[in-house]
Structure 1
Amino acid sequence: MEVLEREEWQARAASHAARVDAWVTPHLERRGARVKHPVHDFLFTYYSQRPAQLRRWHPGHGTGLADAPEYDGLKGYGSVDGDVDGGAGVLGVSAEHVARQRPLLEATRRLLRATASRPAQLGCFGLHEWAMVYRLADDETRHSDWPLRLGPEGTDTVVESHRIACSHFDAFRFFTEPARPLNTLSPAVDDRADFEQPGCLHAGMDLYKHAFRLSPMVSSDLVADCFELAREIRVLDMRAAPYDLSGLEVDGRPFTPVRIETAEGKREYAAAQADFAERAAPLRARLLAACEYLVRTAADTGAHG
């Protein structure tokens, strides 16, 4: 086991906190002012990871922290003195905690493997967001502070004139009732591994979910890498959405729509989607490798426990 002395792990923890504060601080300021941002708040409101949890740095299983009373009592942590030659008072994520997480680890590994095994499908054009407002009035939508760019009737026409092929259950479940039969696929909560594919924007964003659910067993550096990519994907997700977000700023820049109802917009969306699929692949591989290592740890602990 690698052991980090206090000076080293504190420096890493501080670097991590500074990195994520660029995202966390504006969110907390908006929350304090009761101002909503339909793009940047999503990763904090949809996913269950709290800002304070994102700021907390973890080295991951297999690395011990010397002189780290701040970690004593945190979920998953315990003394790892028995794994350290000549050390004492070293804390780390315990093998027993990893063993208890084996069902989650195996389920995540199965989903990541299945997703990585498929080619990216780039023909959905972000129509899941349109199906979520199908036949709704402006004031009935999830982001009712923002009108529909084409109005309710124009939005419905786009949905009705396109093939809807959403493979992601957590997007499909928010379809309006009239929109659900229009989807050519029927993903369900218990068959995600049968449908998930790497071209899906939400599959890319969910790498962040998988990473933080595996915390503290995986490094917070990986969690932050997944968050950063998810944040960029969310921008495309909402640029292609049916809402009129003109006047909104994203990272200090004017927000411009991707008009997926046009041929040019479809090409722009598919190109960006392919780029995100390519960028997500190494993160998915890192998560899968972590799962493989942790599943082996869980199995070994169970065999000897």
Structure 2
Amino acid sequence: MAPTDVTALHAEHSTVLSAAQWQPRAEAHAERIGAFTDPLVALHDDGMKHPVYDFLFSYYSLSPAALKRWHPGPGVVVANRSQEEQAPHSQWKFYRRVEPDAAAGLPHGGWTVDVMRFREERASMIDFALRLLPATRERTARLSCFGLHEWAMAYRSDLHGIRHSTVPLRLGASGTDAVVEDHQISCSHFDAFRFYAPEARGFNQLQPTRASMVELEQPGCLHANMDLYKWCGKLLPLVDSELLAECFELAWEIRVMDMQASPYDLADWGFEPIRIETPEGKAEYVRAQRAFSERSQMLRERMIAALEVHGVSGG
């Protein structure tokens, strides 16, 4: 990478972090994430899979190790530890080198987010995010889906088998089918709808497609809110690890609730069901869904702000 002009550094950046400043932040972030991922990695090392949490690392792209990396966000320079030992950011994509400047607190140089390169290489993705996320933010949350997408995926399991084959269906195959047939299903999220059993697609009031995502996504959707974590992963390091961690924790909690409301019996894994086939279960689901929706909107707003500042105007 070409060295950064030192004069341009002062005009472009406002924060320089010494190794003594950024290393504790990086360690705290890794510890925060590790509280979630380390037990799961240990489970995998023992040759076991988790029916709830593995989704966050199979469907979404970040590995536990990549998730633990600390990114400061644009406008911050992380100083090298010494002339011989560079910050780990030197090995990560979309960082550029900053030359030594003792007066600026960089006796050994450092690394900062290469915003211009990110914008150039990820222009189409940024453009889509800036259409999808604000459109989702502006819609009223719909809170009447009751997690029936998971039931629609398990419909007619006598023909297709069970999607999560390591755990049984709580109501059995016929009981699961009856729940699907007795409800109006209103899933607006294409990446859930596309996994429906073929026979269940006609039960959905909407027929979402990849092309209709901007028109249909809404902030009551559990999967749209989980996907904030996906967008953080795609936008690293244009967004910082604080936002990434908060979106990950939200996705983790939503995934738990999503599977509690699913047709699967997860009692052996310590998860009590949310019985959405009952009025009490529906009410419990809506309460949690509303709280997740409100929380997601705050995170969505922060992500949009980061995109508007750094993804468009190039601040």
Shared fold (TM-score, shorter chain, > 0.5): yes
**Which of 112, 115, 127 is equivalent to 1:92?**
112
CA offset digits 1:103-150 (Å, max 9, x no partner): 211211211100000011000000000000100139811211111111
Residue 190, structure 1, aligned to residue 203, structure 2: no
Q: 1:74 maps to which residue?
A: 92
* Local SS of the residue matching 2:258: helix
CA offset digits 1:58-104 (Å, max 9, x no partner): 10111111115222132001124599985562211113323222221
In the alignment of these two chains, the number of paired residues is 294
Q: 2:73 maps to which residue?
A: 60
For the structure 1 residues 245 and 108, does the alpha-carbon distance in structure 2 shift closer, same or farther, using more than 3 Å as the test?
same
Question: Which segment is superposed worse, 70-79 or 169-178?
Answer: 70-79
Residue 48, structure 1, aligned to residue 61, structure 2: yes
For the structure 1 residues 105 and 248, does the alpha-carbon distance in structure 2 shift closer, same or farther, using more than 3 Å as the test?
same
CA offset digits 1:206-234 (Å, max 9, x no partner): 11001111011110111011000111111
Q: 1:5 maps to which residue?
A: 18
Identify unmatched segments of 5+ residues in structure 2: 1-12
Do the aligned residues in 1 keep the contact of 2:119 with 2:126 (CA within 8 Å)? no
> Structure 1 length as normaliser, TM-score?
0.92
| Paired-residue identity, % | 49
Whichever residue aligns with residue 93 of structure 1, its letter is V
* Local SS of the residue matching 2:77: strand
Do the aligned residues in 1 keep the contact of 2:61 with 2:233 (CA within 8 Å)? no
* Local SS of the residue matching 1:79: strand
Tell which has more relative contact order, 1 or 2 (C-alpha 8 A, sep 6+).
1
* Local SS of the residue matching 1:64: strand
* Local SS of the residue matching 1:91: strand
Q: 1:225 maps to which residue?
A: 246
Residue 271, structure 1, aligned to residue 287, structure 2: yes
The 5-angstrom pairing of residues 31-180 of structure 1 reads 31-67=44-80, 69=86, 70-81=88-99, 86=104, 87=106, 89-100=109-120, 101-137=122-158, 140-180=161-201
Q: Matches of 2:164 and 2:186 in 1, distance apart?
A: 23
Do the aligned residues in 2 keep the contact of 1:133 with 1:175 (CA within 8 Å)? yes
* Local SS of the residue matching 2:16: strand
> Structure 2 length as normaliser, TM-score?
0.89
Identify unmatched segments of 5+ residues in structure 1: 250-254, 301-305
CA offset digits 1:241-295 (Å, max 9, x no partner): 001112212xxxxx21111111111111111101110111111111111111122
Q: Aligned Cα RMSD in Å?
A: 1.9
For the structure 1 residues 138 and 178, does the alpha-carbon distance in structure 2 shift closer, same or farther, using more than 3 Å as the test?
closer
Do the aligned residues in 2 keep the contact of 1:149 with 1:243 (CA within 8 Å)? yes
Q: How much does 1:183 deviate?
A: 1.0
Q: Matches of 1:104 and 1:173 in 2, distance apart?
A: 21
